[in-house]
Structure 1
Amino acid sequence: MSKFLPVALSTLLLGACASQAPHSPSPTAAAAPAQATAAPVPADDNLNAVAWSQTAIEHDLIYLETYRSAQSQLLTALRDKHWDALPADDRIAPYKGLKPAVVLDIDETVLDNSPYQARLIRSGGEYNEADWAKWCKEGTARALPGVVEFTQFAAKHGVAVIYISNRAQDLDQVTLSNLRAVGLPVSGPDAFLGLGTVLRGCDQVGTEKNCRRQLVSKHYRVLMQFGDQLGDFVSVLSNTDGGRAQVMAPYTKWIGSRWFVLPNPTYGSWEPALFNNEWSTPRDQRRQQKINALRVD
């Protein structure tokens, strides 16, 4: 029996160690209190939208598909002297004999601002003009897939490229510099019509782009428009589900030929339409109203 004694003793000792383990401070257990005190990243409804915009190849393919489709139709539109992509209310000058142009929104249509949205998610903050202007001045926004090739193709065929943006007019130089840096054609300062651009005799309501489209109509026959919001194409004065559908109804046949709509799940006029356009409503109440707007059948 003596030769089994060391084994037996070893077994007893191991059992004793095992019975004491839960009460002994392991490295993992010791680290747990420090992890528990770390402030959690606040939940953000925009997380999936921004993650999709930045990582999903489907996002890029939609942009490529849109701009390639537009490019395949551009020369046909150019040859058709009766082709014009401005809504009736914005065509204030006859287009016969005018130079051809395409009109593009900038943010989430031409330039990718998802890093700014990602910063908001990580900080738990919301959009504010100071941080937005700071981001714009960095001038590091990337071009979205397909847009460089399309706009260069347009410029090569004598079609002016005009950018109508709700970036403030005082961001014009940094914006033009960013556009040039990523390879987008910029004919000069007049290619950027930012928020604050004035057309005498036209009263702009809020951030609506109608006055700037009317300004373009004086100089160009517009072949195509590109944007990620209804307001990039037509004025939306009643930002409700019904009002948005009503202003779009006369132009649905233009989608995919004269008007090209890009996806933007991160922000836009569709969002405040869900909480009566009241941004002063507390954030948690806005969120609840968006939840209430969901359809479950």
Structure 2
Amino acid sequence: MIKSLPVLLGTLLLLCGCASQAPHSATPAPSATTSAAVAPVPSDDNLNAVAWTQTALEHDLIYRETFRSAQSQLLAALKDKNWDALPSDDRTTPYKNLKPAVILDIDETVLDNSPYQARLIRKGGEFNEADWAAWCKEERARALPGAVAFTQFAAKHGVAVFYISNRAQDLDTATLNNLRKAGLPVSGPDAFLGLGTILRDCDQVGTEKNCRRQLIGQHYRVLMQFGDQLGDFVTVLSNTPAGRAQAMAPYMGWIGTRWFVLPNPTYGSWEPALFNNEWSTPREQRHEQKIQALRID
């Protein structure tokens, strides 16, 4: 019995060793790295758009190209007494003997508000009037590439420079200060026509700019218009993809000569056109409707 004791002890040790190794032969638990890799990435519809706006050289080149092309054509337009860039509905006064002017939108046309959009992304919010007004009052928006050179060139050659914007009219002081700080020419307080500007006997629909274009057209021959939205050029009565195309159709020949359109993937009337203009729709549903609007062939 004493001689068999070592054998018995060896057998027990072997069994214990097998038991202690069993857990290591099972499938390993997922590591923290593996779990993180499959975690969903929070989505923000505006992230790529704002990142492109702020960092892509292509963005700046498009602006420079657009304003440089306009500048090269401006003097010829000035000499052509039959040249006018107001749509027919907005030309309510004969223009041949009027002084020349150009009309520019402000936001994402001559001033870059992408820092405001970046702030919204970082805090996960959406546009609201209070934050927007606060940003405008900071007077920190920078001029977009090419805008200063073009507007200064126009002013130097006797062409009045007007800014029609859907910034509220009570943001006039901050807006004019920002334009001046950015190097854009401002002839006086009347150079800015914000939302709320009144023209007697003209019915403005929502934020459409038709009445303000008519107001300038009463005193000026408009050589060129610049903007990042269709509404910067013509009244869009039905903000659907089909309605937008219909509003622009008569003026396609003016693109690049009288009208100069700049890119804005961060916001605009093109977006609500994809979800029936219902901003009250929950954010997730708006996101899904935009996905459904995509073409896959």
- Does structure 1 residue 228 correspond to structure 2 residue 228? yes
Q: For residues 170 and 43 of structure 1, what CA distance do their matches in structure 2 show? A: 35
Runs of 4+ in 1 over 3 A off after TM superposition: none
Indicate the SS of the match to 2:89. Answer: helix
Shift of 1:203: 1.1
Return the alpha-carbon distance in structure 2 between the equivalents of residues 207 and 123 of structure 1: 28
How many residue pairs end up in the alignment?
A: 265
* Aligned residue in 1 for 2:248: 248
Corresponding residue of 1:144: 144
Normalising by structure 1, we get a TM-score of 0.87
Q: Deviations over 1:133-166 (max 9, x none)?
A: 0000000000000000000000000000000000
Q: Distance in 2 between matches of 1:286 and 1:178?
A: 33
SS of match in other structure, 1:186:
coil
Structure 1: runs of 5+ lacking an equivalent? 1-28
- 1:229-249 C-alpha deviation (Å, 9 max, x unpaired): 000000001001111111101
For residue 43 of structure 1, report the CA deviation from its aligned partner. Answer: 2.2
Q: Is the counterpart of residue 207 in structure 1 residue 207 in structure 2?
A: yes
The offset of 1:97, in angstroms, is 1.1
* Residues 41 and 122 in structure 1, CA contact (< 8 A), matched pair in contact too: no
Aligned to 1:10: none
CA radius of gyration, larger in: 2
Distance in 1 between the 2:96 and 2:53 partners? Answer: 40
Separation in 1 of the partners of 2:103 and 2:42? Answer: 38
Give CA deviations for 1:72-129 in whole Å, capped at 9, x if unaligned.
Answer: 0000000000100000000011112111000000000000000000000000000000
Q: How does 1:68-147 map to 2 (within 5 A)?
A: 68-147=68-147
Equivalent pair of 1:227/1:233 in contact (CA under 8 Å): yes
Query: Which runs of 5 or more residues in structure 2 are unaligned?
Result: 1-30
Q: Is the 8 A contact 1:42 1:124 kept in 2?
A: no
1-structure distance, mates of 2:153, 2:59: 22
Aligned to 1:216: 216
Residue type at the aligned position of 1:74: L
1-structure distance, mates of 2:224, 2:88 = 14
Contact preservation (8 Å) 1:204, 1:210: yes
**TM-score normalized by the length of structure 2:** 0.87
- Distance between the aligned counterparts of 1:267 and 1:252, measured in 2? 23
- Deviation readout 1:5-30 (Å, 9 max, x if unpaired): xxxxxxxxxxxxxxxxxxxxxxxx9x
Specify the code of the residue in structure 1 equivalent to 2:102: V
Structure 2 equivalent of residue 177 of structure 1 = 177
Q: % of aligned pairs identical?
A: 83
